[in-house]
Amino acid sequence: MIQVTAAIIYHNDKILICQRAEGSSCSLLWEFPGGKLEPGEMLEECIVRECKEELDIDIRPLKIYQQMSYQYPEREIYFTFFIAEILGGQIKKNVHKDIKWVEPSELGQYEFCPADVEIVNKLSK
């Protein structure tokens, strides 16, 4: 099982979503920023590192929003979704095709990675 963290980042009542690059797994689908846990790393350290690498921002995880597993055909992933805030930096598209701030009610207008759909449905209510 692969451990993954993801950040639900709010700013002015909007949530940050990222579109995966072409040619990646889940190509061009939307997701919350995050990535795989490295050996010896704590979950909070992972999400801070991933947001720095992917978006060039410094974040602080505030609390765990939800933990869940998702079975893709080729692997099982265990997700930890954090509510987080931006501490500094200017958002850059280091690995994503696009990045948007959207209202929670607008999340359903985007096609998300299958593993994120449950969270999207919960946030958009």
Q: What is the CATH number of the domain that holds 79?
A: 3.90.79.10
Indicate the pLDDT class of residue 23, thresholds 50, 70 and 90.
Answer: confident
Q: Coil, strand, or helix at residue 106? A: helix
Q: Residue 6: name the closest of 113, 106, 107 by CA.
A: 113
Instruction: Output the pLDDT for position 83.
Output: 98
Yes or no: say if 70 and 81 are a contact pair by the CB < 8 Å rule.
no
Q: Residue 84: name the closest of 38, 46, 125 by CA.
A: 46
**79: containing domain:** 2-123
| pLDDT tens-place string over residues 63-120 | 999 999 999 888 899 999 999 999 999 999 999 999 999 999 999 999 999 999 999 9
Strand segments (E) across 46-115: 58-71, 76-88, 98-102
Has this prediction a pTM greater than 0.85?
Answer: yes
Altogether, the residues listed in the chain come to a count of 125
How many domains, the chain?
Answer: 1
Instruction: Find where tokens 């500094």 sit.
Output: 88
Q: Which amino acid is present at 122?
A: K
